[in-house]
Each structure stands twice: as structure tokens, then as C-alpha cells.
Amino acid sequence: MTTNLRALTLEQKQQFDQDGYLVVKGLFTPENLEEIEGTFEEISLQPVPGYFEPDLHADMSDPLRRYPRVMHPHRFNETAMKYMLHQPVLNVLADLYGEEALAAQSMFYYKPPGSRGQALHQDNFYLNVEPGNCIAAWTAVDPANEDNGGLLIVPKTHEHEISCPEEADLSESFTTHYVKPPKDSSIMPVIMDKGDVLFFNGNLIHGSYRNKTKDQFRRAFICHYANESATSISKHYKPLFRADGTEAEIEGSQVGGPCGVEAGPVFYH
């Protein structure tokens, strides 16, 4: 599985397997990013029912009312679909999985100054990919750091089972779920430049800081994928797509994994 790598070195593949995450520099070119930025700037100007529902007249006391995340933009926008199936990303995923990847979800986060972060969580609680796991490809459209709300990860927690979430602190998190990291673990910030992509395993505990800056958005284009050999995924992520844009047949599961509750549309991520 590691002798015919397309995009990664053996050391990179080993790091992902050992730590549950990997940053790959510059997978998106300045031209790619300019197209993504322009597309989501245009999307931000008006609601898209079911996918992007801003309050265009909201004051900025809660910036996420004006700039909520865009859910599944690939379902209504060709540029989002194109970059969800970005070949350099799919090549890395094929190395990480040891097989082709199927695209399940796209999202865009604007994260304006002052925005709350997202409490620690695990993605496969929501996607429920079986057998196998989901992998996230988190692309920095702006530089991401500790000040503007960059991502937090808990290395090696991909080795842990899915945990049932507790209630999050809604004064700091815009989502309600919180997964407590193991006692012997440490939370690490991921510092990224524009165009870098963070790949991480669906069991890895991760979240994000509040954007503490006065003048920096922390935009990110985030997609989730399943291994081609998976036979089921949460029904909210269907249909899945192959690299050529055709739909892949896969069973839609009805429940949200081992906790006995369904992780419905409110908790896509």
C-alpha cells in the first residue's frame, strides 16, 4: 500500500498513519484560490435556501449570523464541485486510503473577525462511514493561525473509538457537541499558509479557536471523503461522487453511529 505512492513520500504517509493528520503544502495554486475566493464572495451576497442562510441585515455582534458556513456548495455550484474533486487532493487521498476516494461533502467557512470557534469533535460521528473511515481535506483559503481561529487537533486520537459528545460551551462554540480529549493527550494548533491542505482521519479529535482578530477573515474550503470500499455512510451525505463527477452507489445509514442518536442535518460536521 505504500510502495506505489502517487503524491506523498513514504515519510508523509507514515506520519498520517501514526498521528492521524498531515499538512500538504501548496496543493491549491494562487489561481485556484482566486477562483474559490471569487465564487464564495458572490455566494455570500444572497441566501441559498437549505445551504446558506445568512441574515443579511444582522449586526456583527454575532458575525456568524451574517456569515454562516456554506453547506454542500457542490450541490448548487460548479466551482465548488470542481474543487471538491481537485485532482491533487484526490491523489493524496488515494495514497492515504490505499484506494480511490469518494467525495461526500463540501463546506465553506468565512469565519469573520470575532466569530466563535467549533468545539472539539470527531467527524466520523456524523458521516458514519463503514467499513473504513472518512478523511477531511481542510484547505486554508486565508492563512490560519492561533489568532484568527485556526484549527486545533489532538494528535494520535485517531486511534480512539468514536466518543459520544457532551454539551459544548455555546459562548465559544457555534456547534453544540464537545468531545473531551483523553487525559494523556495534548491539543495542538495547526499553522497554515494559503493553499495548504490539512488531511485528517475521521476519528481524530479536532476543533477551532475563536477568531480573535479585528480585521482578518479565516476562510476555509473543507471537504470530506470516504474510501471507495465503504458500503455505507450517513444518508445526509448522499450522493457521493467519483473523481470523474459520476455518482457512486453506497447505502445510506439511518443512525449516527454508536451513540444511538442520528446526527442529522444540523450536525453535518
Summarised one tens digit per residue, pLDDT across range 227-250 is: 999 999 999 999 999 999 999 999
pTM, two decimal places = 0.94
- List the beta bridge partners of residue 225: 103, 135
> Residue 226's beta-bridge partner residues?
102, 134
Query: pLDDT, tens digit, for every residue of 73-99?
Result: 999 999 999 999 999 999 999 999 999
Average pLDDT, the chain: 94
pLDDT of residue 269: 39
Alpha-carbon distance of 123 to 268, in angstroms, equals 9
pLDDT at 259: 72
Say what the pLDDT of residue 268 is.
Answer: 39
Domain boundary assignment for the chain? 10-255
Measured between alpha carbons, how far is 178 from 190 in angstroms, rounded to an integer? 19
What class is the 10-255 domain? mainly beta
Measured CA to CA, the distance from residue 185 to residue 61 in angstroms comes to 34
The low-confidence residues of the chain, meaning pLDDT below 70, are 1-3, 254-258, 260-269
